[in-house]
Amino acid sequence: MEAFETPRPGLTTPARVVTFADESQREVGDDLATEEPLEIRLVLNGRTQTAAVTMRTPGNDFELAAGFLHSEGIVASREEIAGISYCIDPAVDAEQRYNIVNVGIPGAQARPLERLERHFTMSSACGVCGKASIEALQTRAERIDDSLAVDAAFIRGLPEKMREAQRVFASTGGLHAAALFDKNGNLLALREDVGRHNALDKIVGWALMNGKLPLHGCVLLVSGRASYELLQKSIVAGIPMVCAVSAPSSLAVQLAQDFGITLLGFVRGSRFNVYTHRERVASELASS
């Protein structure tokens, strides 16, 4: 009963701040983006093993767990997850129970827990720091061959659609977002988090749990930069086009080129750069 009486951590945390403006100052209330740890545990045949600890914004925790496990190659489909629940172990501090997620793995379908050679410990800044190289990714992910094609006007319209849907960012200004669109520009899913990789894992988890993987014919827009870990997760999810509000890293561009992803950066206002597989973006001259 105590576990149910313990309040879940919220998306925002209230704070008091002193605001300086011109020659005046005043104390006002503010909302901060909540950042708390989430431990993802795998449960198989009575064994429990920690798969990851990540700093995240509470909310869509089950999607985050499912998306992370899919991105890391631990589960391939929703049938490989027997259930997801918060921790109910009475030995765990009640205040931490909503910061621990147990993922049940069916014994007959499970990849061995021994595949987790080490615990994946992440922070909201680093994502999959120290993860395996591109060669290791090639052993479990295929090159994306997708006929998706969009025009420049489609790309230019994505940031405003994402901003309109960002609920928590409007009150805190402190979150990353990942937004998934179909080929017609319809918003399919948007998730926010203090970690950009977590926001994408939440979208991948949503797709996994709703039987929508692979995400062929879809376009992903992320706030901030396009990094290696975002491209790695997009490749495993089968997303053919990734757009970033800021710049891509060199390794992100290499991954996109090698795996057939169209990668765009600096998608803001009327401009954007196409770094790889430009054939999926029709020129305005060709489309006029």
Class of residue 91 by CB neighbours under 10 A (exposed 0-12, middle 13-18, buried 19+): exposed
HSE of 98, CA atoms in CB hemisphere, 13 A = 18
Phi-psi region of 175 (alpha: psi -120 to 50; beta: other; left: phi over 0): beta
Which of 87, 126, 129, 243 is flagged as catalytic?
A: 126
Residues whose CB falls within 8 Å of the CB of residue 217, separated by 6 or more in sequence, listed in order? 146, 148, 182, 183, 240
Q: Has 126 been annotated as catalytic?
A: yes
Max CA-CA distance within the chain? 68
Catalytic residues: 126
